[in-house]
């Protein structure tokens, strides 16, 4: 199966995942999602797609813990660098939807940059892309090593994002096929 379809599936799963919100304005039963009744001041869990729509309309605020920010990327980059410096083959625990959240934040920043023509937003976007690339590079090396060895520790698997798990399985499968074709499969 093509990787883009698998990643699309992860992104869809993300949009359907429960998201914590604080209700800012009462809405009562939510149109198109009548199983949710939202009253001002309460905290609730609703699907992310609905939370994003209602946040844009000013009815709810998504919990800060549910959003990726530039600070999260900087912290993740620092932790991955530190692990690499110490020679650890482990990866840090990230949110299961880390890359999907990063992609969503980049789209938001790109939209904001086009709307406002604010150079600081472009600078923030550039810093985010740089940090994300470094995180990708550090983590990918460890994932490739695990795929080459044909073994995956429980800790490494637990700390992988959903996107990284897909990538690992595809790479490991390709390597295994390559070994079989060359005749060195054990």
Please give the domain boundaries of the chain with CATH numbers for all domains.
Answer: 3-66 (3.40.5.50), 70-182 (1.20.58.1030)
Q: How far apart are CA 153 and CA 89, in angstroms?
A: 10
**Residue 52 has what pLDDT?**
94
pLDDT in tens, the chain (186 residues): 688 999 999 999 999 999 999 999 998 888 777 788 889 999 999 999 999 999 999 999 999 888 888 888 889 999 999 998 998 888 999 999 999 999 998 998 888 888 888 788 888 889 999 999 999 999 999 999 999 888 888 899 999 999 999 999 999 999 999 989 998 876
**Residue 186 has what pLDDT?**
64
Max Cα-Cα span within the chain: 66
Contact yes or no for 67/45 (Cβ under 8 A): no
Contact yes or no for 160/109 (Cβ under 8 A): no
């Amino acid at each position: 199966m093509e990787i883009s379809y698998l990643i699309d599936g992860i992104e869809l799963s993300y949009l359907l995942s429960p998201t914590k919100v604080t209700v800012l304005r009462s809405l009562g039963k939510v149109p198109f999602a009548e199983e949710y009744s939202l009253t001002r001041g309460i905290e609730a869990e609703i699907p992310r797609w609905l939370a994003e729509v209602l946040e844009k309309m000013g009815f709810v605020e998504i919990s800060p813990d549910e959003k990726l920010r530039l600070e999260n990327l900087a912290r993740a980059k620092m932790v991955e660098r530190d692990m690499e410096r110490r020679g650890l083959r482990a990866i840090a625990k990230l949110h299961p939807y880390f890359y999907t959240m990063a992609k969503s934040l980049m789209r938001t920043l790109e939209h904001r940059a086009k709307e406002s023509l604010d150079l600081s937003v472009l600078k923030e976007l550039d810093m985010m892309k740089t940090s994300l690339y470094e995180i990708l590079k550090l983590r990918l090396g460890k994932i490739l090593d695990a795929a080459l060895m044909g073994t995956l520790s429980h800790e490494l698997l637990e700390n992988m994002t959903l996107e990284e798990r897909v990538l690992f399985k595809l790479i490991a499968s390709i390597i295994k096929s390559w070994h079989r074709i060359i005749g060195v499969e054990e």
